[in-house]
A and B are shown apart, each in its own frame.
Chain A
Amino acid sequence: MMTNDTIDRDAGETLAAVARLLHHAAVRTWAQAEAEGPRSPLHLLGLGIHIASCQAVAMLPVHADLEGQAPTQDDVVQLLRSAEELTRAIPVLDQPAGISPLVVDICDLMREATL
């Protein structure tokens, strides 16, 4: 999986939105973890979400616009669900290679956050 300069424009914009949602979800999770204290298992959930966010950013062209609007939701599970739903609109092709592992990671994080 690497930076992809040939990604379809629509897919790129969708993936950027996925990255924003994941970034926000990681920030929210870490905020909850810090409120719970240093032994909270949420620290590792936040790390997992951040890792997924890094993977999403890595699949985008170098100059992709990732600023955008901050998501309005604050619920981590809802943010992850929204991210997964957005990935459904991204074609599963060899470009962008790596979307399948990202989908699996997001679904795993969803299960980890909700079970």
Chain B
Amino acid sequence: MKRQDERSVGELLLDADFTTRQILMDVTGDDAQAMLRTWGEVVQSASELWATLPQPVGRATSPIDGITMARLESMSQAMHRNQVRRGWPGDGASDERLLRVAETFTRAADLIGRRGGHIGPTDPAVRADLDAARMRIMHTLYVGAHSVGVAAQQHVADVELATTRGMSDRERRAVPRGQDAINRLAAFEQLAGAYVGNQFARAAQGEHVHGPHGTERLQQALIGWDIQAHRTLAATPTPANLLLASRTQAGIATAAAAILHAGARTGNVDTHAYEHRLAPTLDATQQAWTHVATRWAEMTTPASRTDLDLVHAAGELRAAVREVAHDKTTWAHPEVMAGRVDLGEAAQHFQQALSTAVDVACVTRDVAAQDTNLSGPARAMSHRANGDIDRAADGGHENEDVVWVTSSDVHANRTVPIPEPVRAGLVDATDTLVQTASNAMSAAACLDRFTHDRPSGPGQEPTASRSRRHEGPTPMTQDVRSVARP
């Protein structure tokens, strides 16, 4: 005999939420077709559950509540009709985990229908429970839509990888179908996300569905990052903001090396220039940014706040790089990257980014040298000051017996102005940073020449009209104070 499900509505909703989280953590491209077949069922059962929740009595309800769910259901139905019309993913197995989510929603709806769907809630506590239930349903749809979208993206990436190795027309047709599903799921996710993120008004006005992909997204992300980094560091050059800026710049250098390496392997970047000039200078500037980042990290505390606009710009940049260059946990194969985007065009965007990185490095050095408000936790500052003094002594400098941070400050780990040796070490590190960033910029000048000299072929359209090019001479590696931003 089947055991009776004794769980409450709240427990069922939590189960549905946690199941979608687990799906998101484990999802792969192989799951895409089954998930796409099943997703509509999840949305329908969520909508039916939503409808069984008792409507508020005696207070004005926000019309967006019902409208959001109705729109989500409508989007899901449109997606289903499109799948039927296109014949993809077609008949086949359902996704068992998503089915479980749908069944859990249905079970919760049954419980409510039997035990109290007719009751008009007047008690504030009951109303709060209902609000929480609606939010949990929407949150589950948000997480679920994201996981189906991830599966579809991975599926498209897998198909594109197969394309580079030869495949049938039928298989090749899965790419635009998958892309269409990705776009529709992104719109769904955005609407559900606006509800749970309390940003409904912005989403309803903007109706932003999906942004650019590939090199266009990469270019926008690099430009957006550059603009935001300058804005944030001009307004609030705190160690926390400088830490994120430095780590992101290090990430740009790492990504540039990976993508230019792929470009060199696939004939989109001069191989000799990559191996002998670009790669060594990119490695050096990456290490310099990383070193500077560790210095800024010492000056932060766990409670340090980072400018959220900077956080979002860094997040978008990271996502854009992953879209081009990653394959699960590591770098994608060069041919795979070349199949995704025009690597010559990507190389030009990185050339621009490496130029503007010099200016970010100069701003960073200026803060290190001139900002009198720089401070950090006493223990870390004391430790760093003593370390830098010891290093200077090893280098032949006289080791003066100076207490840079008082013992009471160290004991309480108060925030103290950065000691003189710490600033000196920071300035040294940022001087190296400016130098290495300048070297990388100079080395990258060859990218402009090569990508404009290479022949155009299928999928290799000339990019001169879309790229932002230097009009003046290449700045020298010495005495670079700043580079005009395009």
Contact residues of A with B, CB < 8 Å?
Answer: 1-3, 19-20, 23, 27, 30, 34, 37-41, 43-48, 50-51, 54-55, 57-58, 62, 64-68, 84, 88, 91-94, 97-101, 103-104, 107-108, 110-115
> Is A46 a contact of B303 with CB atoms below 8 Å?
no
Which A-B residue pairs are the 6 nearest by beta carbons?
A38-B286, A97-B198, A66-B302, A100-B196, A107-B24, A66-B303
- A1–B329 contact, CB under 8 A? no
Residues of B within 8 A of A97 (CB): 196-199
B318 and A64 contact, CB distance less than 8 A: no
Most A CB contacts (10 A, CB to CB) among B143, B302, B305 go to B302
Contact yes or no, A58 B303, CB < 8 A:
no
Given contacts A44-B318, A47-B248, A100-B142, contact A111 B24 (CB under 8 A): yes
Could you say which residues of chain A place their CB within 8 Å of the CB of B322? 44
B308 close to chain A: CB less than 8 A:
yes
Since A54-B305, A98-B197 are in contact, a sample of 10 more A-B pairs with Cβ atoms closer than 8 Å, ordered by chain A residue number, is: A3-B305, A34-B290, A37-B283, A38-B286, A47-B251, A47-B318, A54-B311, A98-B198, A107-B21, A107-B25
Inter-subunit contact A111/B255 (CB<8 Å): no
Interchain residue pairs with CB less than 8 A apart (8): A3-B305, A41-B331, A43-B247, A51-B314, A57-B302, A66-B303, A97-B199, A108-B146
Within residues 238 to 281 of chain B, which ones have a CB less than 8 A from any CB in chain A? Answer: 244, 247-248, 250-251, 253-255, 257-258
Q: B interface vs A, CB < 8 Å?
A: 14, 17-18, 21, 24-28, 131-132, 135-136, 139, 142-143, 146-147, 150, 193, 196-199, 244, 247-248, 250-251, 253-255, 257-258, 282-283, 286-287, 290, 297, 301-306, 308, 311, 314-315, 318, 321-322, 326, 328-331
Chain A residues within an 8 Å CB radius of B250: 38, 43
Q: Given the known inter-chain contacts A39-B257, A54-B306, please indicate yes or no for A91 contacting B132, CB distance below 8 A.
A: yes
Chain B hits for A62, CB < 8 A: 305
Residue of B nearest to A88 (CB): B18
Grouping DSSP codes into helix (H, G, I), strand (E, B) and loop, the B interface class, with mixed when no group exceeds half, is helix
- Known interface pairs A1-B197, A103-B143; A48-B318 also in contact (CB < 8 Å): yes
- Decide: B329 and A112 in contact? CB cutoff 8 A: yes
Question: How many pairs of residues, A versus B, come closer than 8 Å at their CB atoms?
Answer: 150
Bound CA span A88–B19, Å: 12
Residues of B contacting A23 with CB < 8 Å?
302
> Nearest Cβ distance between residue B103 and chain A, in whole angstroms?
21
Chain A residues whose C-beta falls within 8 Å of the C-beta of B199 in the assembled complex? 97
Residue in A51, A67, A104 whose beta carbon sits within 8 Å of that of B318 in the complex: A51
CA distance A100 to B150 in the complex (A): 16
- B287 → chain A, closest Cβ, in Å? 5
A contact residues around B24 at 8 Å (CB): 104, 107-108, 111
Q: In whole angstroms, how far apart are the Cα atoms of A101 and B329 in the complex?
A: 21
A92 touches B136 (CB 8 A): yes
**A47: which B residues are within 8 A, CB to CB?**
247-248, 251, 314, 318
Q: Which A residues lie within 8 Å of B136 (CB)?
A: 92
- Nearest to A65 among chain B residues (CB) is B303
- Enumerate chain B residues within 8 angstroms of A38, measured Cβ to Cβ: 250, 253-254, 257, 282-283, 286-287, 290
**Do B139 and A67 touch (CB < 8 A)?**
no
A40 and B329 contacting across the interface, CB-CB below 8 Å? no
Name the one of A67, A88, A108 contacting B303, with C-beta atoms under 8 angstroms. Answer: A67
Q: State the CA gap A75–B391 with chains docked (Å).
A: 32
Contact partners of B21 in chain A: CB under 8 A: 84, 103, 107
